[in-house]
Chain A
Amino acid sequence: MSASVFSPPHLPPPFVNTVPPPTLISQGAEALLYRTHFLQSTHPCALKYRPSKPYRHPTLDARLTKHRILSEARTMVRMRKEGLKVPGVLGVDCEPAHGDNARKGGGGWMMMEWVEGQTAKDLLVAVKETRKSCGREEVLREQVRNLMHRIGTILCKMHEIGVIHGDLTTSNLMIRHGAQQPHGITDGHAEGHGRANNTSGIETEPILREALVNGEVVLIDFGLATSSIQDEDKAVDLYVLERAFGSTHPEAEDEFNEVLKAYGESSRGARVVLKRLEDVRLRGRKKSMIG
């Protein structure tokens, strides 16, 4: 067999009509993520398409796809209702088609609000690059801690309503751009305003600061989310993030502690979870050793 260039599967209806066609922005094992628009072309949205898997029995395939799309969408709607920042669900289609469209491909899709911004991962990588060249390392560290604090708070809120994310990584945390205000006004209160002029050579620095200090933390990708109020599950959720953070951003491991600190301060039950996290660290994320 010759190696062929990967081509993403065709999108199902109604997206065959979409002008301009959705652009693929990311792909995982289960789903493809596109950028497209909602009902008007001026309203950007994200489209998560789960194609059917040809190697699965069609009945099982339809059931799994449907179940996964729905559980993800339900979690997101529930969180949004509770006032947590996640992309809103705009539309869902996970039923097999009948009639003319019946054979045009299985799978299902979900449309979500578009989050304008960058992932925490990209942001932290950019910080790392800048940190080397600008002379203000301690200021940047402080700003990263500020961001970590907000992440910890939102994670605690999420756990409080009984949602376990299941796949916490810095790629699944978006930092939404703050309102497009001129930098000088928004960070008038931030220290180091005068010093910023001295480091005029580094242009990325003010943009980074804007995201670090004012960016809104939005949780994404609830494909593996479950519902639980057990301390064990919450602790494992945090442990997964801790490990992911440590391997992706080893240079910022100290700042990560700020996540846990903020988490612990955010609710009464959170301290118990942090205690539990210490146990989890010693044994790994699987409690039962079966399977």
Chain B
Amino acid sequence: MALIQTLSLAHLPPSLAVHVALYQEVTNASFLQQQLLLGNSDFEYAFIDASVILSPNHLLAAVFRAVNDSDNGRLKSRNVHSEIVFALSPNNNIATSFRTFGILPTTRSLLVVKISTNPSITASSISQHLSATIEGTAIEFSKDNISKFTDIKKVKKIYKIGNKTDVQERKNRGSEKGTVVGELDDKKEMEVVILGMMALRGQT
């Protein structure tokens, strides 16, 4: 059974439901990637490597931008689902963004996003298709589960953040570094900066 969560993002029309599922220990990532590369229309999903996602907010901000761009006729990639992957990127290269954020043969933890672009797409139809095709364990799409898979180092590298701010922060914080509160703060701060970079991507 797939664990699909259906969300409706604020500001977007309620008819455009966002379906999200999270998998761990996926074993057939290369098959799934192949379907995307072949352009198999049954596999119109945003498959995202969960290790580069910091928080639900990080992912959903990308969904929001992609849907808004799609709504305004500004898609840069093939469809709204590929646009979600592209929206995560801090720079303008679509192919690179797929390689960085999208599914790779080595992907073990996987986020799946599907937008209800027409009424025939429902949580149950997606759930059926996903459980038939993804070999992995479905787990709940929650803040805690997401952060379990996050590779903070990788995220910092992708968005080229951390070094300067981090060192300064540590200095300022001094003794209390490494505390749980400090860690949380750091992550929140990172999220804000990342959302800013995502929002500015491609705006010239």
Contact surface of A with B, Cβ cutoff 8 Å? 13-15, 17-19, 36-41, 43, 66, 70, 73-74, 76-77, 80-83, 88-95, 97-102, 113
Contacts and interface: CB of A to CB of B under 8 A. Distances in A.
A291 to B, nearest CB: 29
A77 B10 contact: no
Interface of B: 9-14, 57, 60-61, 64-65, 68, 71-74, 161, 164-165, 168-169, 192-193, 195-197, 199-200, 203
Contact of B200 (A41, A89, A99): A89
B12 A17 contact: yes
Contact of B165 (A19, A81, A99, A102): A81
A101 B195 contact: no
Nearest to B18: A39
Contacts of B165: 81-83
B200 A74 contact: yes
A102 B72 CA distance: 7
A101 B196 contact: no
Given A77-B200, A83-B169, A113 B73 contact: no
Contacts of A97: 72-74
B60 to A, nearest CB: 5
A83 B60 CA distance: 24
Nearest to B168: A83
Given A70-B203, A77-B197, A90 B71 contact: no
Contact of B71 (A43, A83, A101): A101
Contact of A88 (B12, B65, B68, B192): B192
B195 A73 contact: no
A76 B72 contact: no
6 contacts: A13-B72, A17-B14, A18-B11, A73-B199, A77-B196, A81-B193
Given A15-B11, A70-B200, A95 B65 contact: no
B61 A90 contact: yes
Contacts of B68: 14, 91, 93
A77 B190 CA distance: 12
Given A14-B12, A77-B200, A98 B65 contact: no
Given A19-B10, A70-B203, A92-B200, 5 more contacts: A13-B71, A37-B10, A77-B196, A83-B168, A100-B71
B10 A88 contact: no
B64 A39 contact: yes
Contacts of B61: 39, 90-91
Of the listed residues B11, B195, B203, the one surrounded by the most CB atoms of chain A closer than 10 A to its CB is B11
A90 B161 CA distance: 17
B200 A80 contact: no
A73 B198 CA distance: 12
Given A95-B72, A98-B72, A14 B200 contact: no
Contact of B195 (A17, A37, A88, A98): A88
